[in-house]
Amino acid sequence: MHAPKRITFPRQNGSLQLDKIQTLSRRSTRPKSAGSSLRGFPVGVHTCGYAPAAIRKLLADPLTTPDWVGLDIKALPQDIEAVIQRPAKVGGRCWESLNLLADAPVDMQVRTTVWRGSAVERNRDRLAKRVREYGYELVIQQARAGDGSSIVQAG
């Protein structure tokens, strides 16, 4: 990856430097929203992977291929319906996205969120093993209550 471009914004107490762009919405998987060459910055995309067709489009063109992807794997395929409360085929798309991204020239973090009593918590080790089969370590995030306090132990 090339050295990041930096923009400095003057502020009252010093300056603010921008050295990367990360997108955090559904629009982040639209081709015009990603790609480091569009702005001269490395681009990171956060996605749950439910739109593998959009990811495939991003990866098809070097101008729209992100430099980094944060992929949230919600659960194992057999648990996905209970976890996301959507049809299993919707959740299964995240695994298709993982397969696409694992074969792409993109840095990636694969993660999930656990909470007490969830299928994700019960099957965390199996989920981590499955992600390792793609060549990644699963990053475990703890679910938090509205006040920011932990609602589950992730260890």
pLDDT tens digits along 16-56: 555 555 554 444 444 444 444 445 677 888 898 999 999 99
Q: Which amino acid is at 2?
A: H
**Contact predicate 39/21, CB 8 Å:** yes
152 against 145, higher pLDDT: 145
Residues belonging to the chain: 155
User: Under a CB-based contact definition with an 8 Å cutoff, are residues 41 and 66 in contact?
Assistant: no
The pLDDT, as a whole number, for residue 148 is: 72
Q: Taking the model in full, what pTM does it have?
A: 0.72
A 10 A CB-CB count for 70 gives: 18
Give the mean pLDDT of 75-80: 89
In this model, does residue 155 exceed pLDDT 90?
no
- The 3-class SS string of the chain reads CCCCCCEEEEECCEEEEECCEEECCHHHHCHHHCCHHHCCCCEEEEECCCCHHHHHHHHHCCCCCCCEEEEECCCCHHHHHHHHCCCHHHHHHHHHHHHHHHCCCCEEEEEEEECCCCHHHHCHHHHHHHHHCCCCCEEEEECECCCCCECCCCC
| Model confidence pLDDT, tens digit, residues 90-146 | 878 999 999 999 999 999 999 999 988 888 999 999 999 999 999 999 999 988 877
